Every structure is written in structure tokens, then in C-alpha cells.
Amino acid sequence: MHEVTVALPSTSIGRSYPILVGAGARHRLLELLPAGAGRAAIVTQEAVPVTVDAGVEQRTFFLDDGEDAKCMESVEELCRQWARWGLTRADVVVAVGGGVVTDTAGFAAAVYHRGVAVIHVPTTLLGQVDAAIGGKTGVNLPEGKNLVGAFWQPAAVLCDTETLATLPPREYRSGLGEMAKYAFLGVEGLRDLPLDEAVAACAECKAAVVAGDEREGSTGRRALLNYGHTLAHALETVGRYDLRHGEAVAIGLAFAARLSRRLGRIDTARVDAHDGVLAGYDLPWRLPPGVDEDEMIAVMARDKKALDRGLTFVLDGPDGLEVVRNVSVGAVRDALEELR
């Protein structure tokens, strides 16, 4: 069993917490419950074939299947059900599932009674390497992804690699799209590592970034975790394309590399390095048919990294990844055209 600590500063809105990675990690739930918790609200989806035993009185609450469940209506319904059951601030929420579950349940936990403890048990590769770690919670609006949410750090994250055996191949590959991002955040040799070590390496990288910039402060370091996500979120927001999140991120990585080249930040060899990582994971990099460039640009302008009305991206460069603001529309349009 690998253990990674998210070492948050003393001024944190949460606190430091462990991430356990390995086969059977979910069975360590009882020992990591907050002291005094008498009830556990288990939040999951019907399609998630994983159960947990909190060792205290527990009740299961189901979200609808699919990305559409990640919405304000789900948060309200969870909070109302918890109130009827009598969940208190001394109890705990346990989110069991992929990013839809951990994001939605985490946000509901953040606002219910102004904050109740949450433990994440991510059951997808994408959740284990990224979504469940770091305390970002939130839901979507029709206008964009993750536009409503809160920073609410979990009490623990249990990445049980046994649960990954239940994933359909395409869902597993979606997680590889998120894992590919870490190759450009300084994690080397991921494809050569056993699965549990690769998951732990990604978790350790994200933990270090979060510890240094919990709430995307002045350093901007945490925003780098969104590499490839600006276009990915736009594709998902438009919603006409059959893309999993990790697949959209892969396309976003290919786009970001080409945009960086057009801005003179990287050369063709570095673009080829991006393409090599994506090919190694058998990930897509072309735009889906029928993408409207004007629509993509309009949606990307609403990205939450943007602090003004200009286009903002995380881009590669001579000093590594950086947040780049006020990128020209023409360069974005040309980079999109390269991906057709």
C-alpha cells in the first residue's frame, strides 16, 4: 500500500490528509473516519459496482448516472435527503465513484451545515489520479463546466486499484488522458510503472502542487493542473460530441502544444513529444467532426482561469508550463484548424 500525504499549510481551510493507493484501500475506510462520526452518508451511482463498509450506521444515496447528474439540482437533493435522515456536522459523507460523484458529493458536503467531513473513494482511474484529490468540488452550469463549487478538502482519499478492474476499456482510457497530463508536469516514466505506482506518482505530484497553492492563489501553480483542460471543457460544455473527459483532455493537450508553437514558445520537437505521449496511451488528438471554431472560442473565453475578457490558457514553454493570458483569437483559430 502506498501512502501520499497532502501536506496543507496551517492556514488551510482544510488540513493535511492521507491518500492511500493500492489493492483493497477502500477497506481502510473505518480507520480513517473522523473522530466521533456516528453516521456515514454513502453517495454513489447505480452503475458503480463497488460497495464500502464505514463501520458505523450508513445509508446510501444515489446520484443519477452520467455527467448530467453533476448539477445544482443534485446538490440540493442530496442536502435535503441528508437533512431528512438527520445527518449532522459531526458525521461524514463518503463519495464512491468517479469524478461526477466526488465533485458533486464533495460540493454538497462543503455546503451542508456549512461543511461536513467527506472521504473520497474514487473508483475510476481518472478519479484516482486527479479528480478526487485536492479539494476542488463543483458542478456544471449550461454555460460551462465547474462554474459553481467550493474548495473543500477531504479527510482522506482511498484509491483502491482493485476497483479499476470493473471499468469498461473506454472509461479506463479516459483516465489515461488525465494521466498523460502529468508527463508535462514533471512525472517521468509513468508508462513503465506498475499501475499502483503510476497512480501513486500522479497523486504525489498533485499533492505537492495543491500543498503549495491550495486555492489557485497568486503563484498560479495550481492552475497548471488544468493543462489541456480549456479546450476539453469547451468540447464537453457544447456537449454534441461523444467524448469522455480524458479523451477531451487528450485533444486539449494536442491543441495546447500547437498553440504554444504558434506563439513561439516551443518547437516542433516538443509538439512531437506531446503527440508521442498521446499515441503511447492510444488517445485521440483530432477535433471531432463538425466543431465550430467560433463556438469553441466563445466557450473558452468563459473558462474559470480567465481573470479578464481575454483568452487564457496553460501553455508549455521554455520554462515549462505557465498560465498565458490575452492569447490572440487568430492564433487560437489557427491551432484549432491544425487539429481538424
- Which amino acids are annotated catalytic? 114, 136, 178, 206, 216, 222, 226, 229, 233, 245
As a whole number of angstroms, the distance between CA 13 and CA 300 comes to 29
First CA to last CA distance, the chain: 43
As a whole number of angstroms, the distance between CA 202 and CA 185 comes to 9
Q: Distances in Å between the alpha carbon of 214 and those of 13, 49, 243, 264?
A: 9, 32, 29, 31
- Stretch (H or E) spanning 315: strand 311-315
Longest CA–CA span in the chain (Å) reads 59
DSSP readout, 133-199? SSSEEEEEETTEEEEEEEE---SEEEEEGGGGGGS-HHHHHHHHHHHHHHTTTT---GGGS-HHHHH
Q: Distances in Å between the alpha carbon of 225 and those of 20, 45, 152, 201, 322?
A: 21, 27, 17, 14, 10
**Residue 288 per-residue DSSP state:** P
Locus of grid cell 486499484: 161
